[in-house]
Chain A
């Protein structure tokens, strides 16, 4: 395998890490105003992601940095092309990050309510926009011969992309609800469980619609070389979402969380399989696609980055796992809280 392919896989892994981990804390943020009825309950809800959300967001920053380092043309085309959408997402992420830290630092109910809604919107916006972005990348957007995106903002808001956006939004919300059942107690746990049931159907339905729509809009089911493989992976993701419900019925909260996580993993894998070796598809001319070869850094850069990544990643994964172990207990409204 050449280094270009290796970095494509690594970036896929970083996105899996980002969507798997930050996916549930977006979900928790979206559910916050509905599952937390009182202030102390909301604090307990935020507490479930308190020690980890900031590190979860670093997966996005690392993925962004890795795209810049390994595929600068991809970074330049995507970030300048999806300009306003990215701006809206950044606003959401900024508001959300500040809101976690600020919301409990003043006891006035209006202050807290304001920041709770900022957490809600700041979680909802990226959860929605990532699906929109993924759908556009895989279906293709107008990219000219010079790798420049030449569509506008509203070009991104086509029906297929909106289905993609609703799918990630609902799947992350479900992922968050299931995470909450696993990490909370009593009333919050019961409400999270009810939310998981309610959102579960919608999430599975929208995910299946997205896969079906993908069969029409992309080559997910008839890709040269791998044939139906990406499509089959996507269908497995849908099945994993159905399994979530079966585990919930049996009150196996850990397993239901794993199954939403596996669904996220498989969807990302399916999208990257559909793309490869392309990183962005041009809807104007297949010759103008960005690929892991024409968008990449030179072999020396990739070589250096490979050494750094394979040295650092195991250490990072080890201490991340340690953190999750340290904070493995359920949170309760009875304990003193930071957020």
Chain B
């Protein structure tokens, strides 16, 4: 592989890995803030225990999200310096603003929250977690402002071969941002809700700490029911927007090779032959493509390719169709399963029998903890790979963005290095999350401390 392929692989590895931790951070901060607020309002110590329990799991996850985020801030310059030179004028601003408005807020008040239990009044302490939750969402807003520019450039002009910002207002009024930001935020809340529901199911099945986990489950299912529906509605709006703004991405995501007019069929699954430019087989539902895409004239890959050649010159403008197509379907399927599970849970909650008696449902919730992770990951794979060959849609191709002074050996070194470290951190993180999750709410630490004075470590 050459430096470009390795740099792309590195971006995929570091960003996908980072985003395994980010949604749970965003969503769980909100969940813990809600729990602690209920404690402040009701003075019921069970909710304090609950907030502390989920807060402990939050912190283990938060640490990994933070440190893997440092790479995000630096890797544009390291591996993508030509991209940084071309677009830094526009792209750097949201990154700097993110650090200034969000990173300071979250990192300061998480410290206050951890160490402030006996130094602040309960309401002020709960407020610290609300500030953390707010900070994580603000962070998402600004990084997605940057990402939205890559999907759909707005508020810029090309001057001397560089993109220069001409309107900050246009940058944050980017229509792509206003479908993408709610999507990511709602996905984050859903991720935390299924995380809480899955672990609560574990304890309810064992009939341990029933009070705490029944309440946790109710909070989680309520959040999940609301957010999973909203995300589907928002996802529909987003897809209709992408059909207009990035038609090639949507054509690939639906594997539509030729332009479809009138009541065209929607392809459920298909065998994709990108070289031949057709599907080897397809299972289709007649007539619904127009309804899903919001247009009666759905441009196909072949026509879009011809248009792009006319606009941008010779080249291949078709993204990897199979990956885009299947990522889209996997994301939507995971999302659909989450809607069903959440609303079935709401239905059970409305019935008289207590949740801890619903063994079969609770057993489903354990593996369902993985569903939001699947949806999040494949959603981003679809978004980023579906934009190829562009790094900034219509402005710069990915191969033009790579650092031209960094050697293949150097990229390989950092790729292997980060991958190994991420593997080790994942192992330690999962070990600790499982251990602290299983330990339950009472103890601050999973097992009794060894007598401290005797554990000399040198």
Contacts and interface: CB of A to CB of B under 8 A. Distances in A.
A79 B78 contact: yes
Given A55-B104, A91-B417, A112-B457, A102 B432 contact: yes
Contacts of A102: 60, 63, 428-429, 432
Contact of A80 (B71, B77, B445, B450): B77
Interface in B77-102: 77-79, 81-82, 84-85, 87-93, 95-101
Interface in A97-141: 97-98, 100-102, 105-107, 109, 112-113, 116
A222 interface: no
A38 B432 CA distance: 23
B403 interface: yes
Interface string B64-78: 101111110110111
A64 B100 CA distance: 11
Interface in A58-105: 58, 60-62, 64-70, 72-73, 75-81, 83-84, 86-87, 90-91, 93-95, 97-98, 100-102, 105
B452 A38 contact: yes
Contacts of B107: 54-55, 57-58
A87 B78 CA distance: 9
Nearest to A38: B456
Nearest to B167: A300
B247 to A, nearest CB: 30
B104 A105 contact: no
Given A77-B81, A79-B77, A320-B104, A94 B421 contact: yes
Interface size class of A (residues with CB under 8 A): 35 or more
A150 interface: yes
Q: From A62, A72, A95, A312, name the one whose CB has the most chain B CB atoms within 10 angstroms.
A: A72
B111 interface: yes
B350 interface: no
Given A90-B71, A150-B405, A72 B85 contact: yes
Interface string A36-66: 0111101000000011101101101110111
Contact of A300 (B112, B164, B406): B164
B103 interface: yes
Q: From B104, B428, B456, name the one whose CB has the most chain A CB atoms within 10 angstroms.
A: B104
Interface residues of B, number: 79
Contacts of A98: 63-64, 67, 425, 428
Contact of A72 (B71, B88, B421): B88
B41 interface: no
B74 to A, nearest CB: 6
Contacts of A75: 76-77, 84, 88, 92
A327 interface: yes
A226 interface: no
Interface in A6-58: 33, 37-40, 42, 50-52, 54-55, 57-58
Q: From B59, B93, B100, B450, name the one whose CB has the most chain A CB atoms within 10 angstroms.
A: B100
A148 interface: yes
B168 interface: yes
Interface stretch (B115-123, B308-316, B387-395): B115-123
B453 to A, nearest CB: 6
A154 interface: no
Contacts of B263: none
A1 interface: no
A300 B162 CA distance: 14
B81 A80 contact: yes
Contacts of B166: 300
Contact of B84 (A76, A94, A101, A301): A76
Contact of B103 (A61, A73, A76, A301): A61
B457 A39 contact: yes
Contacts of B453: 38, 40
A46 to B, nearest CB: 12
Contact of B73 (A52, A61, A73): A61
B191 to A, nearest CB: 20
A289 to B, nearest CB: 16
Given A80-B77, A87-B78, A323 B447 contact: no
Interface stretch (A168-176, A250-258, A264-272, A302-310): A302-310
B103 A62 contact: yes
A45 to B, nearest CB: 12
Interface in B430-458: 432, 435-436, 445, 447, 449-450, 452-453, 455-458
Given A55-B104, A61-B99, A79-B78, A297 B89 contact: yes
A93 B103 contact: no
Contact of B108 (A55, A100, A150): A55
A73 B161 CA distance: 13
A83 B78 contact: yes
B112 A323 contact: yes
B442 to A, nearest CB: 15
Nearest to A151: B405
Contacts of B405: 80-81, 148-150
A54 B165 contact: no
B88 A68 contact: yes
Contacts of B445: 105, 107
Nearest to B444: A336
A297 B410 CA distance: 29
B451 to A, nearest CB: 10
Contacts of A97: 63, 66-67, 70
Q: From B89, B96, B109, B165, name the one whose CB has the most chain A CB atoms within 10 angstroms.
A: B96
A304 B168 contact: yes
B414 interface: yes
B369 interface: no
B159 interface: yes
Nearest to B69: A61
3 closest residue pairs by CB, A with B: A72-B88, A79-B77, A69-B92
Given A40-B453, A62-B96, A107-B447, 7 more contacts: A57-B107, A68-B76, A68-B77, A69-B92, A87-B78, A98-B63, A107-B445
